[in-house]
């Protein structure tokens, strides 16, 4: 399955967001997803299976509990695709940085002399 097919589903994206914060039990994931999406436990399990089989998540057993963790390697496909578009953002972010610096300089220079009274003497 293509990475964007996996990430195109809001439930799977939310599960990956939960896993990005660290390893989670299947029960904890199910609790959050059921509350947010009103899905049944079997439906959540199906999404976990898709993430596991596509390589986006790994699972380890500890007794009866299953711990899921995000596996970032399939995200490299997304990163490669997004790389084509980073140039657009880099240019805009550089321009924003320039404008912010201009604004800071302008506020520093316009602040000089504001601490004077009406008779021209410093108030400090």
- Segment 83-96 shows an average pLDDT of 83
How far apart CA 40 and CA 56 sit, in angstroms, is: 22
- Segment 6-23 shows an average pLDDT of 96
pLDDT at 6: 93
How far apart CA 54 and CA 44 sit, in angstroms, is: 15
- Segment 26-45 shows an average pLDDT of 97
**Is this prediction's pTM over 0.75?**
no
How far apart CA 27 and CA 96 sit, in angstroms, is: 44
- pLDDT beyond 90 at 94: no
The vertex-97 CA angle with 95 and 100, nearest 5°, equals: 110
More confident residue, 16 or 79: 16
pLDDT at 117: 47
Per DSSP, 122 falls in state: B
Q: Which helix (H) or strand (E) holds 87?
A: helix 75-111
How far apart CA 26 and CA 28 sit, in angstroms, is: 6
- pLDDT beyond 80 at 113: no
- pLDDT beyond 60 at 34: yes
More confident residue, 109 or 73: 73
User: Are 19 and 32 within 8 A, CB to CB?
Assistant: no
pLDDT at 91: 81
pLDDT at 88: 80
């Amino acid at each position: 399955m293509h990475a964007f097919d996996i990430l195109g589903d809001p439930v799977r994206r939310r599960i990956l967001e939960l896993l990005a914060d660290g390893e989670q039990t299947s029960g904890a994931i199910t609790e959050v997803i059921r509350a947010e999406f009103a899905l049944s436990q079997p439906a959540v399990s199906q999404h976990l299976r898709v993430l596991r089989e596509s390589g986006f998540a790994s699972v380890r057993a500890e007794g009866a509990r299953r711990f899921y963790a995000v596996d970032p390697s399939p995200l490299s496909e997304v990163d490669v695709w997004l790389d084509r578009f980073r140039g657009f953002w880099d240019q805009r972010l550089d321009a924003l940085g320039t404008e912010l610096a201009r604004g800071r300089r302008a506020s520093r220079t316009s602040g000089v002399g504001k601490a004077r009274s009406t008779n021209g003497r410093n108030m400090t």
